[in-house]
Chain A
Amino acid sequence: MHVVVCIKQVPDSAQIRVHPVTNTIMRQGVPTIINPYDLFALEEALRLRDVHGGEVTAVTMGPPMAEDSLRKALTYGADRAVLLTDRYFAGSDTLATSFALSQAIAKIGETFGAPDIVFTGKQTIDGDTAQVGPGIAKRLDLLQLTYVSKICSLDLDAREIKVDRRSEGGTQMLQSRLPCLITMLEGTNEIRRGSLDDALRAARSQIVKWSAADAGIEDLSKCGLRGSPTVVKRVFAPTARVEKAEQITTTDKALSDVADELIVEIFSRQPALEHELAFDASA
């Protein structure tokens, strides 16, 4: 089988700092990582390959430096990596991104064999939209299975897949067909440490680099800013609260006295709450 995994190189948002005076993002020196949600997708793809045979292709759209993330995917055990990079993609919103990636995936299909499953993470940690996966599915006319928590069974001969899917009130058990697009929920598997063999292979591997033209994209007006119906008009810092938290002092006091003081302060600010809490606690 052939599984394609879409990954994205993102800034490690845990390490992004906002400049205290200018309120701008300090991006210098912020390390990049593979979007953490995509790792669950990659791991699931590798597991399916390990059981059913075949190949895993990792693909990303991004600047040339996104090659680092693809090489990392190879060290985890992906068989092949494709970097879609072109200045025409700059400024893509989710609609333009899903267009470019769907074209690249179609080209991957022509070149290396049609994928049975396309995986993505449930969302990225920088954009947080969860829109690109469904967008790719629609563009490629793939069946769409989002927020998948478990792949219960896969029958390659019958082209049938059964999955558990997270919904608001519980878990849906779905049966669908291949080819399909799956967005993987976090915490669904444990991400492997790549083997030494994989690390050596990754170091030697060539990353396939495609421009828009290489991926067979003829209409560049569907890419980048020009292909994006949404436009960011304004970026601004949230209004910061002026005062810091009022501190309850703790020096020379028993913790129970501090707690008492805190509770008095809470109820003086939220008078209605005391009765509600008492009611809840007695319920």
Chain B
Amino acid sequence: MTLTANQETPPPAVGRAGMKKELPEQFKDYRHVWVFIEVERENIHPVSFELLGEGRKLADKLGVKLAGVVLGPPGDATQQAIAEAFAYGADVAYLVEHPLLADYRNEPFTKALTNLVATYKPEILLLGATTLGRDLAGSVATTLLTGLTADCTELDVDADGSLAATRPTFGGSLLCTIYTLNCRPQMATVRPRVMAMPQRMNKPIGCVIQHGVPMLEEEIVTKVLGFLSDVQSTNSNLAYADVVVGGGLGLGTSENLKLVKNLARVIGAEYGCSRPLVQKGWMPADRQIGQTGKTIRPKLYIAAGISGAIQHRVGVGGADLIVAINTDPNAPIFDFAHLGVVTDAIRFLPALTDVFTHRLSPHSRDKLAN
């Protein structure tokens, strides 16, 4: 079998001089803001609601409608996703309901979403930067030969109605604002927890547009053989935790991670770490906090023995209160933490854990005694 690269005609090319927008005729009737509602194994990913909140603002600025896009099998979870899309601000919902959309697979999802876009022509299409969202967005954007901006931290509409998508670059030390010129839709992914969660409203179901996409199981090569759910808490809920304790190289050894875990247990927090610890194999990758790990947005973040490289800063910038414990008074973490203690985390964490234990409920003391 030989591979042949797809050489379809792309949209008219633009150089730097092409910043002036002259949208080709075929894109002129692209309207409205769409948010992909991510449902995987009957769970709606909360990033979908965060995106609806952001999408609402964009749609209001543009004076257009906000739509939620639901792809899924016939059943309660799919209906629930539509109801939730309305509750979080959608005016319209597009639905492709098909048994082949039960488990996420790239082929049928790409086909269904590409088909929807080609039919109903949204101006802006937003997806969560999750494993599913990134897998799907990359395929859809390439199929449609349009621009896709990854992992945005800010979305806005500029004076001429273009989507201005801002994202970190150079490991988070700089931000850049990216435009998609001369192609539609303008696509972007946004990380979970970067946008604030909007208020849920009690709203009756609005207009649902059902769209049929012909698909046959025989045409889909990839089969799902099974699914192993992340059962116990070894798989973290970092992104959505209210309190997080993070450990870094300042902890010295992997054994000292128990100091982080103990504190986290006492205050009911999730725990995570900086990138070097994952590279050393001290903690699994899904507990990494930072640009290439999880973005967190807790009310309280305690960083123990973390120097605060720019990649880490990107991941914790949204925390309400950052407390840093580090021996080095010049560590960059003190530049963005709110409270700092210059001391050895290995010695300080047990003390902090003790004082918290006494300060909090008697129940926690009982629990620790056992």
A interface residue numbers (CB < 8 A to B): 13-14, 16, 18, 25, 36, 93-95, 98-99, 102-103, 105-106, 109-110, 114-115, 123, 125-135, 137-147, 162, 166-177, 179, 185-187, 218-219, 221-222, 225-238, 240-241, 244-248, 250, 255-256, 258-260, 262-263, 265-266, 269-270, 272-274, 276-283
Given A170, A247, A265, A277, which contacts B360 in the complex, CB threshold below 8 Å? A277
Render B267-280 as a binary contact track against A, CB cut-off 8 A, 1 for contact: 11000000000110
Contact present for B310 and A230 (CB under 8 Å): no
Query: Which B residues lie within 8 Å of A185 (CB)?
Result: 285
Nearest-CB residue, chain B, relative to A138: B142
Given A105, A114, A229, which contacts B180 in the complex, CB threshold below 8 Å? A229
Q: In the complex, A105 Cα to B354 Cα: how many Å?
A: 59
Contact present for A263 and B10 (CB under 8 Å): no
List B residues 135-174 near A (Cβ within 8 Å).
135, 137-139, 141-143, 145-151, 164, 168-171, 173-174
Contact present for B3 and A105 (CB under 8 Å): yes
Q: A259-B352, A281-B267 are in contact. Are A125 and B171 (CB under 8 A)?
A: yes
Query: Which B residues lie within 8 Å of A137 (CB)?
Result: 139
Q: A125-B292, A277-B360, A281-B266 are in contact. Are A270 and B104 (CB under 8 A)?
A: no
Query: Which A residues lie within 8 Å of B362 (CB)?
Result: 282
Contact present for A241 and B43 (CB under 8 Å): no
Q: In the complex, A221 Cα to B352 Cα: how many Å?
A: 61
Q: In the complex, A131 Cα to B4 Cα: how many Å?
A: 20
- State how many angstroms separate the Cβ of B110 from the closest Cβ of chain A: 8
Q: In the complex, A139 Cα to B13 Cα: how many Å?
A: 18
The answer to the question of B216 belonging to the interface, with a C-beta cut-off of 8 Å to chain A, is no
- State how many angstroms separate the Cβ of A232 from the closest Cβ of chain B: 5
Q: A128-B151, A266-B300 are in contact. Are A110 and B178 (CB under 8 A)?
A: no
B interface residue numbers (CB < 8 A to A): 1-7, 10-11, 13-16, 18-19, 38, 40-41, 43, 45, 103-107, 110, 130-132, 134-135, 137-139, 141-143, 145-151, 164, 168-171, 173-183, 221-230, 235, 242-243, 266-268, 278-279, 281, 284-285, 291-292, 299-300, 309-311, 317, 320-324, 333-343, 347-348, 351-352, 354-356, 359-364, 367
- State how many angstroms separate the Cβ of B338 from the closest Cβ of chain A: 6
19 contacts between A and B (CB under 8 A): A102-B5, A129-B150, A131-B141, A142-B3, A162-B225, A169-B229, A172-B224, A175-B225, A222-B13, A227-B13, A229-B10, A229-B181, A231-B14, A235-B177, A238-B173, A245-B333, A256-B355, A269-B321, A277-B268
Given B45, B221, B279, B334, which contacts A177 in the complex, CB threshold below 8 Å? B221
Contact present for A229 and B145 (CB under 8 Å): yes
Contact present for A94 and B225 (CB under 8 Å): no
Nearest-CB residue, chain A, relative to B235: A170
Interface of A is mostly: mixed
Contact present for A244 and B335 (CB under 8 Å): yes
Query: Which A residues lie within 8 Å of B14 (CB)?
Result: 225-226, 229, 231
Contact present for A283 and B174 (CB under 8 Å): no
Nearest-CB residue, chain B, relative to A101: B5
Q: In the complex, A248 Cα to B138 Cα: how many Å?
A: 47
Given contacts A134-B135, A281-B361, 12 further A-B contacts (CB under 8 A): A135-B141, A168-B132, A171-B227, A187-B278, A225-B14, A229-B11, A245-B322, A245-B333, A247-B339, A255-B351, A258-B341, A276-B299
Contact present for B227 and A173 (CB under 8 Å): yes
Nearest-CB residue, chain A, relative to B16: A225
